[in-house]
Amino acid sequence: MKTRNKHKKEYWTFGALGSLILGFGLCLLVESGFMKHGETQDWQWIGLGTISLVLIMSGINFLFKSFESKLELKKQSK
């Protein structure tokens, strides 16, 4: 059984990392769209777009983990 401090640390850590990774993934997604219409080869913007989607999904998963820790905190406080 995890302690209250452990859940609080997970809540803040995964929340911050999730927001950071999600934002970075969204920025890369927009950048790959600009690259698509520029003078780059196809594999470059496709690769960047794929990496950005992986980062977006990872950020969302981290945010879900943060929310799960918040729910555990609320359950323990009752």
65 contacts 14 by C-beta, under 8 angstroms: yes
Q: Is it the case that residue 1 has pLDDT exceeding 80?
A: no
Q: Is it the case that residue 70 has pLDDT exceeding 90?
A: yes
Give which of 35, 26, 32 is closest to 56, Cα–Cα. Answer: 26
18 contacts 63 by C-beta, under 8 angstroms: yes
Which tokens go with 56? 């977006």
pLDDT tens, 16-42?
999 999 999 999 999 999 999 988 999
pLDDT value for 10: 93
pLDDT value for 18: 97
pLDDT value for 37: 93
